[in-house]
Each structure stands twice: as structure tokens, then as C-alpha cells.
Chains A and B, each alone.
Chain A
Amino acid sequence: MHPRYYLDADIFEREQRKIFRKVWLFAGLKTLLTQHNAFITRKIAGIPVVIQNFHGELRAFENVCLHRNALIQTEPVGRRPLVCAYHAWRYDDRGQVTNIPDEDAVYRFSPEEKCGLKLKRFALRSLGNLLFINLDTSPFPLEEQFSPEFIALLESSSNAYDTEVMVTTWRGNYNWKLAYENLRDANHARFVHSKSLAKVVDFRPSVDEVLLQESSQALPDSSTGALRDELRRFSYGGKDAAIDNMQHPSWHALVERWGQEDAYYNWLAYPNLHIASGNGGHSFTIEHHVPVAPGCTDLEVYRFTAKKRQPFAFSNSVLLAEMHGSKLVVGEDIQILEMVQSALHDAAPLPTQGAYESLNRLVERWYETLMETEHGV
């Protein structure tokens, strides 16, 4: 795509508005929210969000107190009632203010004013243990964004997730779209990861003749329905490549593996979620690329095993070793992405993409339609 799509602040604002505040986005893990008042907080498309368990029901609200705009929940993960620490305003499971200390004496709100004190609530869906949020006031059905097959895969695989989760964030100087163009590019692994991942897995690029033909043409229909149909095929997953002679460290026997194949699994959920299992379903990584600015992306990385058969003392060391593995491989990607980003300027040459990159080209024509026209999803 033209370099401006990776550099321009106006484009960034437009994609936040037309994509990130319209479509369903990964919001977190249900495994962290099993108890009453357990919560997670995120900043999604620039909006602080809290997702909290209210007696078993998960709800998402804007995490900003209606009194003085303080964050209500301040930790990334925790367990406490929905009470602002600034002046102790308390909210219920509908986001309604239920208690304001010394309300009559110092605030003197009328009943109508108090009734109107309600947090903005967002649509929330769970697919297995994965939570998806939609920030739009009239969200379109999640089933129009993801195919039934993809939904079934996400549900099945994420139900295998364990509840011990390791999380960190890596800030990178690249545009979030570069990460997904790279993830859809099966040809990069043997060059970028020649000393790491490619020694274990042989990713083979292939040419899809139908997609190739299609990607050379303009998008035939830019109606909302057609754009949603097109969006649906950008999310896919499953077995990506077989792993010959896969190593089985002792901890593999201590978890309930998802699936039975010695394979590398990948799931890509448009726009910014990547899930992988590089050891045949014994453990998983979630990579959530959160756009911060045109040239800046926060990569939130989650690491967890498949469900443990029973707790074992060194489980955290397993996760840390896996996290370091991610750091190595994804670090190789980030190094390339930052190099690409740093070379971009308004008059930089347009990419010369090959036949195997047809899916990236399909995403690009859809994305450009959204950015350059009034059409949307």
C-alpha cells in the first residue's frame, strides 16, 4: 500500500474510527475473570475499558468515573468492586452509580441527575475463553465478522487454555498493519527466522490461483454487506505446518493437549489478534497488536499452557521459557518491521508483491476502500 497508510496521522484516526471502533476486537481472557468482581482493564481504540465479573456475568464499561474522569479500576488485572478510588463513587452491574459518599451534603444531585449517572456499556461476547468487544453504539453481529468455522475453531482451542497466564507488553516502532502483512506472509520465516523458528517448522508459501485472480481486480461491491463478507475471510486459522520430530519436554505430559497433531497452529483474527501454538496444542501464545500511533504499536503478549492436569511447581518456569522463545522469534519480526517502517516516506516506492501474497492484496483493497470512501462496515 501507499506509504501514507503507515505514516499519516489522519489515516490513523480514520482507521481507529472506521475499523477499531466498528469491528469486534480481542478484549482479553475469560480465564482471568472467573470470580465475582474479578476485572481486567484495557485501553482499546484509545478508550479505557473495564471488563468485570458481576456474579458470573461479564460486562464491559468505559473505565472512567463520571465524577472527575478518574480511572475506576486502575490495575490491569484484579478483583474489587466497581468503585472509583478518587471519591469512592460506586457503580453496579448496569454501570449505574449506586452510592456517592455524603451525596446529600456535598453533591446535592437531583434524583434525575443521579439516575443519569451511568457508565457507557459496550457489547461483549465470549468465544470459548476469548473475549471480544465492540465499541460501536450499534454493533453488527460478531457472526458477520467471523465465519462459523473460525468461531468453532476459536471456541474449541480456547476452551483448552489454562488459567495461569503470563503477560507482558513490548512497544515497537512500526505500524500495526506491517505486523499482519508479515504474519500473512509465509515466505518470510525461512529468511527472518532462519536460526530460530525455521529450524523447527518448514513454512511453505503457496499460490492460491483463485485469490490471485480476484486480487488483481477492484473490489466489486462496496456496500456494507459486501464489505462485511469480505472482512469475514480475513480471519482464519488452524494447522499451518507439520512439525517433524517435535520435541516433547516432560511438562507436555502434565497438560491436556488441544488436538493430536504435531503441528504449528496459527489463528489470525482481523484486525489485530494473532494466536499460535508452536508445539501441537501443548501451549499457546496470544499476540495482540495495539495501535498507539502511525509508527508505534504495543504488542501485548500472553503465554499459557493447555489446561494442566494438576498444578506443578515449575509451571511458571515453563511459561517464562516460552515467553523468552516468543521474545526471540517475534523480536526477529519486530527488527524487520521497524526497519521497514524507518525506510518509509511519502515518496517511498510502492511494494512489489508476488503471486503468493494475494491475501494481503485482498486485505489492502478492502482497507483502501474504507479509508478512501464513505463506505464502511
Chain B
Amino acid sequence: MACKWIIGAGAPLDLAYDICRSAHPELHVEIIAVPQNGKYEFELGTLDALQPASGTAFAAFDERFGNFKRMELMSALIERGFQLEPLISPRAMLATGVQVGPNALIGDGVTIGPGSRIGYNSVLLPGTHLGMGTLIHPSCWLETGVIVGNGVQIGKHCTLRSGALIAHGVQVGRHCELGWPQRYDKHIAPKTIFDGRYDAPIYTYEN
């Protein structure tokens, strides 16, 4: 029986495991926990015992450090020869023709409208709703309850927190965090952070 390794740490491990078990009952699904050391580096020694050619893998990690830690783990798996595939819950509803990149996760109850594309390594947690023709660039993180309007583009490495509603046609630049539960109806400059702990948005300027 082919293997599917869910490799990573934290709650996303269990989430990905459940989705994988229900989406691929024919596979032997195994969780491989990867600890981090004091410098937040992944300790990948647990992977040495695996034979990449005998299965596929999924890098499961949360959104911390702008989704770069999950991408780092994903890159480490690719370097070791693992093949990565998307994980799509059988309880999600994807319109015909929706494209989903490698190592992307589509959770239970997610709805995605026709013509949408989900970049690699992006995570749509259960209950996310995407309209028609949306473009989610790689390494994004969309939490439960996020609503994305038709034609919306979300730049790479964005994090959308629960309660964010992105109006039709809005473009969100790369590396943004939309953490205020509100309607976002204007384009958002790259690297803009709406964090619930802050009184005002955090802006990044660069020449």
C-alpha cells in the first residue's frame, strides 16, 4: 500500500491527517512530527527513515512567520525527494476546473467558485468561501469564515483571519495580514498588516 506522510508540527498535522484519511482511504497515512530547535529550525532527522519514492508527502505547518516556515518545510521535503500533492477534503465543494497547486490544503466545507486558482502551499481552513475567478497566490493562509469575493486576487504569503470579507475585485498585495474582522473594499498595498492587537494598520514602505 502506498504511503502518505503528513509531515510537520502543531494542529495542522491533525487537520491534514483527517482530511487525508477521508480523501484517500486507500493510502497508508502516517503523521511524522518534526520538532524545532531553540532557533526555530526544523530538525529533520525523523525523515531519514522514510523512502520518498514509496509515497507522497504533505508539509503541514501553521502560518507563522508569514507562512515562510511552512514553505521552508515544504522546500526541505522537495530537496529530499518527496513528491508533494494537494490535500482536498471530500467535504469541500470545488467548481469544475478549479486549479489547486501542490501542498495546498482545502478543508471541510470550503466552497470555491469556477475559474479560481489556488497556489501551491496555500491553506484554506474549513468553512472558507471563495467566489468566482479568484486567485490565491502561493503560501497563503485563509482561516475559517473568510469570504473572498469574485475576481479577488490575494498576493503570496498573505494571511486572512476569521471574519475578513474581501469585496469583489479587490487586489491584496503580497505579505499582507488581514486580521481585522471587517469588509475590505479597497486594494491593499503589499506588506500591510491589520492585526487585532494594534490600533492602526502597520504599513511597510520601501524604496
Contacts and interface: CB of A to CB of B under 8 A. Distances in A.
A165 B205 CA distance: 5
Contacts of B39: 247, 249-250
Interface in A232-288: 247, 249-250
A253 to B, nearest CB: 12
**Most A C-beta atoms less than 10 A away, residue of B177, B202, B203:** B202
A59 B197 CA distance: 36
A167 B201 CA distance: 9
A337 to B, nearest CB: 15
B71 to A, nearest CB: 9
Interface of A: 31-32, 34-35, 38, 76-77, 163-171, 247, 249-250, 313-314, 316-317, 319-321, 323, 327
B175 interface: yes
With most chain B CB atoms within 10 A of its CB, the pick from A163, A166, A327 is: A166
Contact of A166 (B65, B200, B203): B203
Given A313-B68, A316-B191, A320-B66, A77 B205 contact: yes
Contacts of A314: 65-66, 68
A300 B18 CA distance: 45
Contact of A319 (B68, B177, B200, B204): B204
B204 A327 contact: no
A323 B157 CA distance: 18
B79 interface: no
Contact of B204 (A38, A166, A249, A250): A166
B199 A32 contact: no
Contacts of A317: 65-66, 68, 157, 175
Interface in B165-205: 175, 177, 191, 193, 197-205
Nearest to A163: B207
Interface residues of B, number: 21
B26 interface: no
Contacts of A170: 198-200
A167 B207 contact: no
B199 A171 contact: yes
21 contacts: A76-B203, A163-B207, A164-B204, A164-B206, A165-B204, A165-B205, A165-B206, A167-B204, A168-B198, A168-B200, A168-B201, A169-B200, A170-B200, A249-B39, A316-B191, A317-B65, A317-B66, A317-B175, A320-B177, A320-B202, A323-B202
Interface in B9-45: 39-40
A31 B68 CA distance: 27
Contacts of B201: 168
A316 B207 contact: no
A320 B175 CA distance: 10
